[in-house]
Amino acid sequence: MQNKAFKFDLQETAGAIGDYGTILPIVIGVAAVTDVNLSVILLFFGIHYIVIGVYYKLPVPVEPMKAMGVVAIGESLTANEIAGAGILMGVILLLIGLTGVIDFIRKYVPTAMIRGIQLGLALTLMREALRFISTDWQIGVLSLLIISVFTLEVLKNRDISALLVVFLGLVIGISRHGMPEFAFFSMPTMIIPGASDLFTGFTRGVIPQLPLTLGNAALATSLLIDDLFKQKVPEKKLIKSMGVMCLVSCPFGGFPMCHGAGGLAAQYRFGARTGGSNIISGVILLIVALLFASPELVHIIPFGSLGALLFFSGISLGKSALKTEGVFITLTTGLLALFLGITFAFALMMGVYYVDRHFFKVLSK
């Protein structure tokens, strides 16, 4: 089955799993240290991947909200607190999208700074990739070599490296740890967060996540879609779809979800070109959710393999970031994001940019 909007072939399949290096460590880590159900998280990821692929007819990624993931893992948030954070984030995003606030934000954020966010995320992905690879360097190096071979001109248009890397990882993981046990799906139940859950979710989850979502998942992703596909997907459309995903899944035990420039770069780098890639990814996640979603799943694909996928995804995103016309702003924002975090870098550079614009006019030259 193939048409302009949906293709189902090896390259689309390779692109479909290109972003698993970002998704799996976060969601499995959350499930391992909190009381959320991994099968329910993956169920909603699978559903939303399919729906988003059909809706946008493009490989628009569905990712866990990373800042919330880090907080949930580091502070062992409860399922109710995670649900509270996701519900509040969904409401806020819908309000931002429906009222047009995101258009106001986009108007006053220079493109060079959005490129800087892309660059910072690219560098962060590459740093995390090297950390992953260092935990299993033999497999990581072999995986890097496999992907590198497919950058050769003769193979560039038939890049199935992500499939080969994941297959290699599965073979090695199963040989080390055995086949994962069947963990049959259990139906999600309604979660009603209390006032304290909502407060904790807002202060620990929403506040650190919101700037990252606006900067990366909306502004940077919209710009990257234009770069890669020459199509305009307005930021408000992305904001509203993220709000809906959170409100549909989080009250039933799902994890807060967003889009992301890093995920889009990963899927595109490994072959995703149509919404068919999203559908394939969603089907794979649904199968895992229904049959294999146990915490032991984290051992099946070695982090060395996931790190190799992340590393080349970072390179792909970095290439897009370097299309900037404001080199100083982009590089400075990117380096600050790498060392101090995207949220801090974004806030600081916005302040510097507008102080300079009104008093010095150095950055605009």
pLDDT, tens digit, 9 for 90 and up, residues 76-86 = 789 999 999 99
201 located within any domain: yes
Of 52-56, 183-187, 293-297, the range with the lowest mean pLDDT is 293-297
Structure tokens at 81: 């607190």
Please determine, for residue 153, whether its predicted confidence score (pLDDT) is greater than 90.
no
Q: Is residue 337 part of a domain?
A: no
Average pLDDT in the 59-63 region? 95
Residue 151 is predicted with a pLDDT of 83
250 belongs to a structural domain: yes
Indicate the pLDDT class of residue 27, thresholds 50, 70 and 90.
confident
pLDDT score of 206 more than 50: yes
- Domain coverage including residue 27: 10-178+185-324
Q: Which pLDDT score is estimated for 2?
A: 46
Q: How many domains does the chain have?
A: 1
In this model, does residue 172 exceed pLDDT 50?
A: yes
CA proximity to 86, closest of 36, 12, 155, 150: 36
Q: Is residue 331 part of a domain?
A: no
Predicted local confidence at residue 305, as pLDDT: 87
* 362: confidence class by pLDDT, cuts 50, 70, 90: low
In a domain, 360, yes or no: no
Tell whether 353 is covered by a domain. no
Residue 80 CA from chain centroid, whole number: 23
User: Exposure pattern of 39-60 as b/e (b: 16+ CB <10 Å)?
Assistant: bbbbbbbbbbbbbbbeebbbbb
Instruction: Describe the crossing of helices 221-229 and 303-321 by its angle, rounded to 10 degrees.
Output: 80
CB 216 within 8 A of CB 117: yes
In a domain, 189, yes or no: yes
Confidence (pTM): 0.85
pLDDT tens digits, 262-304 = 899 999 999 999 999 999 999 999 998 888 776 666 667 788 8
For residue 300, is it within any domain? yes
